[in-house]
Structure 1
């Protein structure tokens, strides 16, 4: 096999993991060591490999040292035997250290909600030396006596699944009420099935539907009622608090209130006199919520308008009647006489006349639309009423949990409004125990979204505020966030398709810019993708963008900002404008063309700030058209006045879509034409001495553990890696494979220059 630089062709964008390059097919027999770095090691006087070394094939010129946790006691061994309790999977290369099964998961947490439960846990403390950890969940139910338990069977529904979980969280539904369940959480890896010892696990015991037994009335007045109750007979853990729900009789669907207390009694104030209320109570333990106990109806006392026996009562009544008659005469007179005398006659209005609207301190000109910030309202709840439609909770059907936000769970479900067809929706809910400020911040996103109407902006269906939990209902985007969507489909789209996605995002941002709205956190993670691959701008919760974003970092002027996506003037001076959004859009372009790579790779935030200030800009992603990289560079002009407007960006992308031949010239053609110095991510090979330094130099430091676990301890061992090897050790992103393979070519080039010839195997 020819390993010269000419023999290595670039990885095609649509090549998938496990499909080798034409010149690299086949797994090499052993890991060969080039003579320019490693001498003859591990060879006995008779020419065979001595103990502690092995040679996978007689054709191999050199012996290899046994990898960790393995040994060879005899000369001439073709492989090393794993130590006791250590194993090698069938697919593991012989140079990979032997590994063992993981320990049990740790820190299990359960949250029960009547007949469903969420289980969460931490990864095992010891992974066994592997990174292919998965989890299985086994269930037993005990309807009565704990000694009489049985398997749960197939009636339960595990979301996303019961076995082979890659995340440390699962939702279990369809549980029986008033039932004890035991869930065994088991961690597995690639050698678990080879071990004769049973797999280690940790158990969680839960009880569903812990009902509060009795609600007792203590006393009532015209505007308050005091209740007392008894706790559940068999609580699942220590009772943390009680939750009291109440509403006016026959008004549950319109409005209800939830209160919490740690006591077995509560006085509910602020009620209407002479009104019947329905009360229900449930307990929350360390294992979650129980079911609501039997409801009880109580009526407040009547409020007397006038005290009986008051000597002034006849006089008061007479004055009231006389005042009413005078007022009636006055109103009738005003409607009869000319408007010049009373001012109540409305002037005739021209139906075609367009009036100026004065709305919360802003004049809206005819035909224009201006974004109104919810914080300009004296009453933020009024902003919600102005811009978001109230939806009856009975019209919503929640189906499954799809994520978690800062304020609570995010679910998918269906919305069926009267007279309209049923549609899929996303449902953000506000978790219990919120403060009034959290409620305002949560609903401010709805107040913002409700002002937008554009096919590339996430659409708000409405809100639920008259009952709890408070919810925001938006259209459902089947493919989730753009960054994860692209990572899962690395290399699967044509350039025109990617430009179409970019055009949609730019169109949405043009709409927002025209409304004088500044996004501040434009990034691929905040773009959602529907089933037709239409990209829509989302995440308008400004109150949390700068403070709670995982990509954010503190700036010298205080507050947190997503550094990698933010313009220099916004970082230094907190100067956010439409031009700073354009800078962020340039970063989104880079994310799209690199299929979701992290901007600036593993550079620290401070290094990013310093590099940008010194004039560094992200290089073109692999196979990126030159015209698109130039547009990125235009978006990254240091002077914000030199950056294009979103309208100009849309026009440029439209021209490219109409003339796809402009996209044929690639920005990295010159960068990869043999001069590696033009690529800022290629290190100087003469200064690299270890695998870790090499990976850091090509910005692939996140794979250090993968290479070490696979036995690639020296640069000599990596020069024969192909794409199949990279897939096997966990490098599955095609873009990352390309970067590593190109750098390996440079190592080959250095070796050939040292020996004056290409390496042949």
Structure 2
């Protein structure tokens, strides 16, 4: 863009200062209705010409250090003058002089410096006229204004027009950023950086910038503004989404129509609410459609198979799935004796299960003869629990069947009673269900033996061996006699293994449920590791990846937050792991092996691999971006702000991810809160599948054996001692993760050394319950830390128990016993070395509450004696508001007040 300072000869009057001789002609001419002056001189026959023409004072724009001078002129051909060609000239000179003020008519040649010699492209003869146009640059201007001057030394010329201008980049809006008009830079500054401002209702993570070239053109914009949630780009503005549409995130995308079963009547909607009767499951994206509960299963039928003593239930899927594809079924059994119906109880067996069925069929066995059974089959989906009792249409179907067996199965003993005893005899009676028909020839036989410790659930239940009559019944039917001792013994042993789970009524996995859908393949079994990468990971072209910001550093290089925009796919945020320069081929293979592992997994609680870059110089691993980062740091940053129910929900997600890995026969080996990532929905995902891990920064963070490094605080005893890494050792680690979560990121075993940790575990010490930890959750931790790995629960059992706790939030209200001296490690009023705390700040630092040092100081509490006098209300009054922080400080003071004993961290 050209900005004119002056247009000499038709706007600005010229002040002429002449040496000998002066210009002969100043003519006023009219062209196209406009008047302008023409200055001419033609002293070609006189020697030593030195004629000057100077402009008036031209004020300079403060930023215009470089101006352009455009001249229009005519030069007469010297050969057209008879006898004057030897002294005639065909050029003239351009000069300039800077000044801070107008000097009027004062003129000194010494003040001017030459800019250029001006020569015509075409000269004018006797019979034709040619107008020349030449532009010259005057650079390096710095004062308030300047003059231009023209020197003639013997030419026949006419100066028609002089234009003086500078160049600017015009004000513009690009990518929703407004940039002001900017003066182009000088020759030594070819690019001028200009900062912009996002238009209304737009934002940018990085300040938008653009460069103005010396030619007055915009180039190379950095940083892009995007319309905020609820707004879309319309002709360089951000306008609100119209009713019926929404936009959830800041992006360059347009507003989208509300998905199915949602709507919004508002302008600028960020999300669309579900319509009445429709819902989103907790795992559904907030931008996705809403769905309703399924209708009832259809055509429910029951087909008895008396020869094998079972019943086959089958049905047709619901006519209306509610718009979901996660339909599962549950089967409820009731048995009716006369007019009274009762739940069938645990005796009835279902294959494959009674809940979370995905197939419309189930086999039911262990049913009794001569009874009416009612089976209720209910369809569920991810929104069934949200729909609750108000769901319409109902999702339940039932069928009633009377089982009539003709003797293939004997009646069953339901209750046994001790009627009387002597020193040598016992009198017993029992009930039979159903009552045998008269024509059946039924006889019974009883055996007994001593009760021994193998049947004890704990040493409290059987402190001594005594004579015990086992209700082991021998039933004889009309076809003969057979013993039930051995089958009952195995059932008893199986139930004993259930009992070890404690009072939480854990759901245990059946063999069919534990059967993996597929098995993990170790990429190191491939002769060429690159083949494994190509088999399990998608290759991404680096041009589809945009790095935005460094968010961390891994073992192999930096980790970036960035954007992946693959052809045909929506732009998504990603994390980008890079391989630092100077790597060896082994480091490259180890780096990419993590992608070979991740690429085999597909589960909502496992970090998702987007792809890899392997065919270019800089290798990269691209995964989904988890906004809240590592779980341990997230918990520490939100200490006391998350409810127990939410924490258990996070643990359930981790357990589900580990169940998936366990089902695939993959052992993680390094399960810890630092290796769990959290997204903006507080959903947890298992990560860190590298085979060569740096586990902690401090030298004592790992325990090195001939096989590698071990994270002591998270590792099961058998894995430390014998390198026995199994899913059971991952279960131990999960118990430590549970403790980390309930303790809001506290370091397991606090400041104990690795040697102390190993010694304590071998002496049966276990981490105490964190503050406010539900008893049921802590009991599950203890089950995960059983010394015998065979007795630890499986991940499927853990998921079932956590599901049960989440379905019954009341079960989380019973809090485990909490000893602040153990959990915060405060022996009496002293620090960890046994010496008294020297200051309030030292005490607060020891319990990781140093952020409140200023609160205590401002309240005048500067000695430990004053701290000991504080009550809960006093702590609130000094500004401690978060419930978790309030309890931590209060419990710590409680521990400080206990002067009667010193706690050993190895006490059981």
The alignment's TM-score, normalised by the length of structure 1, stands at: 0.47
Higher relative contact order (CA 8 A, sep 6+): 1
Larger Rg: 2
Structure with greater proportional helix content: 1
